[in-house]
Amino acid sequence: MQSRTIRLRLSQGLHARVAVRVVKVASRFTSKVVLVVGERRASARSLMAMLMLAAAMGATVRLETEGPDEREALEAVAAILAPGPGR
C-alpha cells in the first residue's frame, strides 16, 4: 500500500471538474485508489463519493493506493490534486 498526504491548494477545493479528472485517471489503473478527508473515505472512481468529502481549499487529503500499479496510480492522482512544484 502506498499513501501520501496532500494539502489542497486548488482555489475551489475538490470541485466537480477536478473530481471528474481524478475519476478518469484512477479508472486507468487496476489498483484501488481512495481519498481520505478526516474520517470520511471515498473511492477515486466514484464522482459522487469524492464530492461528498466536501474538501475545501486548504483541506488535508490522504491519498491511498493498493494494487499492482499502486505507485503509478498514486503519482498520477497526486499530480491532479497538487499540481505544480512542491507537491
Rounded to two decimals, what is the model's pTM? Answer: 0.89
81 is annotated as an active-site residue: no
pLDDT tens, position by position, 27-78: 999 999 999 999 999 999 999 999 999 999 999 999 999 999 999 999 999 9
Give 56: exposed, middle or buried? Use CB within 10 Å, 0-12, 13-18, 19+: middle
Domain of 12 in residue numbering reads as: 2-81
CB 49 within 8 A of CB 43: yes
Q: How many domains does the chain have?
A: 1
Kindly state whether residue 21 falls inside one of the protein's structural domains: yes
Return the pLDDT at 1: 94
Taking every pair of C-alpha atoms in the chain, what is the biggest distance, in angstroms?
33
Instruction: State the CATH number of the domain containing residue 38.
Output: 3.30.1340.10
Kindly state whether residue 13 falls inside one of the protein's structural domains: yes
Kindly state whether residue 34 falls inside one of the protein's structural domains: yes
**Among 4, 9, 15, 21, the one annotated catalytic:** 15
> Of 72, 66, 65, which is closest to residue 4 (Cα–Cα)?
65
Kindly state whether residue 86 falls inside one of the protein's structural domains: no
Kindly state whether residue 87 falls inside one of the protein's structural domains: no
Return the pLDDT at 16: 94
CA atoms within 13 A on the CB side of 34: 15
Instruction: Please name the helix (run of DSSP H) or strand (run of DSSP E) that holds residue 47, with its range, or none.
Output: helix 47-51
